[in-house]
Amino acid sequence: MDSSRPLMLGLFLAIIVMTFGITAWAARHRKSRDEFFTAGRGLTGRQNGLAMAGDSLSASAVLGSVGLVSLFGFDGFMFGIANVVAFVLLLLLAGFLRNTGRFTVSDVLSFRMNERRVKLAGGMSSLTISLFYLIAQMVGAGALLALLIGAEGPGVKNATIVVVGILMTIYAVFGGMRGATWVQIIKAVILMGIVSLMAVMVLIRFEFDFGALLTAAAGGSGHGPQFLEAGLQYKNPLDLLSLGIGVTLAFIGLPHVFQRFYTVSDDKTARSSALWLFGIESIFTVAVVLIMGLGAAALVGVAAITASSAGGNTAAILLAQELGGGAGTLNGNIFMAVFSAVAFATILAVVAGIMVSAITTFSHDLYGNVIKRGQVTDAQVVKVARIAAVVIGFAAIVISLTVQNLNIGFIVGLGLAIAASAHVPSLILNLFWRRFNTRGALWGIYGGLVTAVLLVVFSPTVSGTDRSLFASVDFSWFPLTNPGLVSVPAGFLFAIIGALSKRDVAAEEGYDALEVRALSGANSE
Q: Residue 486: its pLDDT value, please?
A: 93
Cβ proximity of 412 and 67 under 8 Å: no
Question: What domains lie within the chain, and their CATH numbers?
Answer: 5-402 (1.20.1730.10)
Q: Residue 490: its pLDDT value, please?
A: 95
Question: Would you list the DSSP string of 27-52?
Answer: HTS---HHHHHHGGG---HHHHHHHH
**Quick one: how far is CA 148 from the chain centroid?**
24
Round to whole Å and give the CA distance between 449 and 445: 6
Cβ proximity of 157 and 148 under 8 Å: no
Q: Residue 100: its pLDDT value, please?
A: 84
Q: Residue 344: its pLDDT value, please?
A: 77
Task: Enumerate residues 6+ apart whose C-beta is below 8 A from 64.
Answer: 136, 140, 311, 312, 313, 407, 408, 409, 410, 412
Q: Which helix (H) or strand (E) holds 515?
A: helix 511-520
In this prediction the pTM is 0.82
Helices (H), 314-463: 315-324, 330-360, 378-402, 408-422, 424-432, 438-457
Number of C-beta neighbours around residue 432 at 10 A: 12
Cβ proximity of 74 and 232 under 8 Å: yes
Round to whole Å and give the CA distance between 497 and 436: 10
Round to whole Å and give the CA distance between 174 and 285: 33
Cβ proximity of 248 and 79 under 8 Å: no
pLDDT tens over the chain, length 525 residues: 555 567 767 777 888 888 888 888 877 765 677 788 888 788 888 898 888 888 777 666 677 788 888 888 888 887 777 777 887 888 888 888 888 878 888 888 888 888 888 888 888 888 888 888 888 777 777 766 666 665 556 677 778 788 888 888 888 888 888 888 888 888 888 888 888 899 999 999 998 998 999 899 888 888 888 888 887 777 778 888 887 888 788 888 888 888 888 888 888 888 898 889 888 888 887 777 889 989 999 898 888 888 877 777 778 888 988 888 887 787 887 888 888 778 777 777 788 888 888 888 888 888 888 888 878 887 888 888 888 888 888 888 888 887 766 656 567 767 778 888 988 999 899 989 999 999 999 999 999 989 988 888 888 877 877 767 677 888 889 988 888 899 999 999 999 999 999 888 888 888 888 888 888 766 555
Round to whole Å and give the CA distance between 195 and 339: 8
What is the Rg, in whole angstroms, of the alpha carbon atoms belonging to the chain? 22
Q: Residue 488: its pLDDT value, please?
A: 93
Cβ proximity of 363 and 388 under 8 Å: yes
